[in-house]
Amino acid sequence: MMHRRFALSCFLALSMAGHAQAQSPTGYPNKPVKFVVAFAPGGPADIIARLLGQRLSDSIGQPVVIENKAGAGGSLASGLVAKAPADGYTLMLNTSSFAVNASLSKNASFDAEKDFVLASVVASSPNLLVAYPGLKAKNLQEIMVEAKSGKLNYGTAGAGTTPHLTAEYLFKVLGKVNVTHIPFQGAGPALAATLGGQVEMASVALPAAVEMVKGGKLRGLAVTSDKRVASLPDVPTVAESGFPGFEDYTWVGVFAPSKTSTEIVNYLNLEISKILRSADFQAKLALVGFEPVGGTPKEAADYLKVEINKWAKIIKETGVKID
């Protein structure tokens, strides 16, 4: 059984209560802010970066520039941003893969717990297992039967992403079958390969694939939420598909280099919290399968520690390794 998502429902209210008096740091921002996205266009980090970036630009009065730096399951961007000036002008949009890589990446060029501060957990989404429409197996139970042949494979946004670990846990630990993992540099490329039949399946955060499933381009096999999602009501949960209690999510956060001043981090947190409370922004998130999260920097830091410990245990249980 996968660990349940951390209880985040009260974060938005707590965030506003804790930072209602935060003020803009003197002179900040006075030039464009860069969002370094840890994955290729089309994935959850990229979707949130573009939705949030537009609104944050309006809020802070400066352009927010999006720069995708995909590679190594998000670790390439982490290594770059860890060395960036801690002035609030270079921020990273990364997913829960950041927490995974804290123990999975043995040769990382950064320390996940020392080199970054998590300014805000922006949003979360369940993961989704999708299949090439031509695949003979029509649902997760049939996939498990076919997987006994040892010939199936699946793509992900990269080794060390939570959809990767989710699938490994589902196939190896619960299903006791071997399905070959094919890592890509983002959910977009993984889904493109699935559309083209280069891989049979993909395990991705739901927002990256929801429109493809709605349009019939891909077949939704199972979603990892505790209940079916409104955007894909015909896709069953993993729990419904024979694995009771299974639940997992991918979250997206805004990270800054650890030496960034508390004033700047609190300011960014407040501005993001204001955006997350907006009804129209919440509607945009819901449309693509995200839920707003929010929370204070302290709550975000505590949550990150929980996530790092959780995924370390799952990595040990699944035996996942990367080169």
Summarised one tens digit per residue, pLDDT across range 226-257 is 999 988 999 999 999 999 999 999 999 999 99
How far apart CA 61 and CA 59 sit, in angstroms, is 6
User: Is pLDDT above 60 for 197?
Assistant: yes
8 A C-beta contact, residue 22 and residue 266 = yes
How far apart CA 16 and CA 270 sit, in angstroms, is 7
Residue 201 has a pLDDT of: 98
| pLDDT tens digits, one per residue of 85-100 | 999 999 999 999 999 9
Residue 323 has a pLDDT of: 57
Domains of the chain and CATH, by start: 11-125+250-318 (3.40.190.150), 126-223 (3.40.190.10)
% helix, strand, coil for the chain, step of 5? 40, 20, 40
Tokens of 148: 């006994």
90-95 and 64-68 beta bridge pairing: unpaired
How far apart CA 109 and CA 75 sit, in angstroms, is 8
- In our burial notation (b when 16+ CB lie closer than 10 A, e otherwise), range 150-161 reads eebebbbbbbbb
Lowest-confidence range among 12-26, 111-125, 250-264, 292-306? 12-26
